[in-house]
Amino acid sequence: MTETIVIANQKGGVGKTTTTINLAAGLATLGYPTLMIDTDPQGNATSGLGFDKVEFSPNIYNVVVELTPLEKTIRATTVPNLCLVGANSDLLGSEIALATAIGRESRLRGALSSIRDKFRFVIIDCPPSLGILTINALNAADKVIIPIQGEYYALEGLAQFVETINRVRDTLNPKLALEGGLLTMFDTRMLLSNQVKDEVSKFFGPSLFNTVIPRNIRLAEAPGFGQSIFQYDPKSRGGQAYLALAQEFLSRRDLKPQTVVDAPQTELAVEPQTTGE
C-alpha cells in the first residue's frame, strides 16, 4: 500500500525542502521504494538531487496542467530505491492555467492513482504558500508533516495552516491527517531555541517528532553537490538526524528497516553544531 506524505509550511526557510529530500532519501536508504515529487516552482528539491531543473521535462507542471501521465515524468535518482518527479519555474503559470479547469484541486490525486502499487512512500515538497499547488498536494496526501524552524516567529501562521489542513480534510480529502511537527535548524545552545521547542511541544503534543534536526553546515552544503545528506556526509550530525527521523517515521507505522544502516547516536541527532565537521 502506497502512503503519500506532504512536507509543507506556509512559511519559507524552515527546512521544508531539506526535509523532503532527506526523509525521502532516508526511507529509500532503509529499503523502501520511494517517489519524491517536487511541486515548488523554485525546483530546489529537483536540483538538490542533482538534476538540471530547467531541462527536467516533462515535469509536474505537465501532469497537473496538461494531464500528462505521471509515470512519463518519473526519473531514477542516484539514491537506490528513490525516484523523482521534478519541477521548475513552469509551475509559476499553474495558478492561471488551472483557474477555470475542471477538478483543478484533484489533478495530482488523480495522477497518483496510476503508480500506487509501485512505491511504498510518496513524499511531496510544497511551495511556501497556500495556493493551488499546495491544495493539490494536500488533496492527494494521507499525512502532513510540518517543519518548524527553532527560531523566533516559529509558530507564526501555524494555526492558520493547520486550519487549512482541516478544511481540505472536511471538503476534499477525508483521509488527510496531520502526522506532526518536526523541529529543524535547531541549536540547543540558544535559549530561544529551547523556548521555541517548549511552545511547539505544547502546540503539537505527542504528534511532535522526537527527532530534532540540527542546524548543520553539511546539510546546507549537500544540495550544492546535487546530493542527499546520505550521499554527501551520512556520518554528519545532519545525516544521523535524518536517519533517525526516517527510523522514527517507520516506527510510527510498525515498520522496520529493510536495509541495514549504521544506527545514529541519539545524542548526535539532537545536538546541533553550526560549523563544519
Q: 87: helix, coil or strand? A: coil
Q: What is the pLDDT of residue 155?
A: 80
Measure the CA–CA gap between 183 and 171, rounded to whole angstroms. Answer: 29
pLDDT of residue 273: 33
Cα–Cα separations (whole angstroms), residue 41 to 37, 47, 71, 100, 158: 12, 12, 20, 20, 22
- In the predicted model, is pLDDT for residue 271 greater than 60? no
| Three-class secondary structure of residue 122 per DSSP | strand
Average pLDDT along the chain: 91
Task: Specify the DSSP class assigned to residue 271.
Answer: -
Q: Which of 53-57, 61-65, 241-245, 273-277 has the lowest mean pLDDT?
A: 273-277
**C-alpha cell at position 24:** 525521502
Pairing of strands 75-76, 82-85: antiparallel
pLDDT tens-digit map of 133-181: 999 999 999 999 999 987 777 788 888 899 999 999 999 999 999 999 9
CA distance 82 to 129: 26
Sketch out the chain's domains with CATH numbers: 3-270 (3.40.50.300)
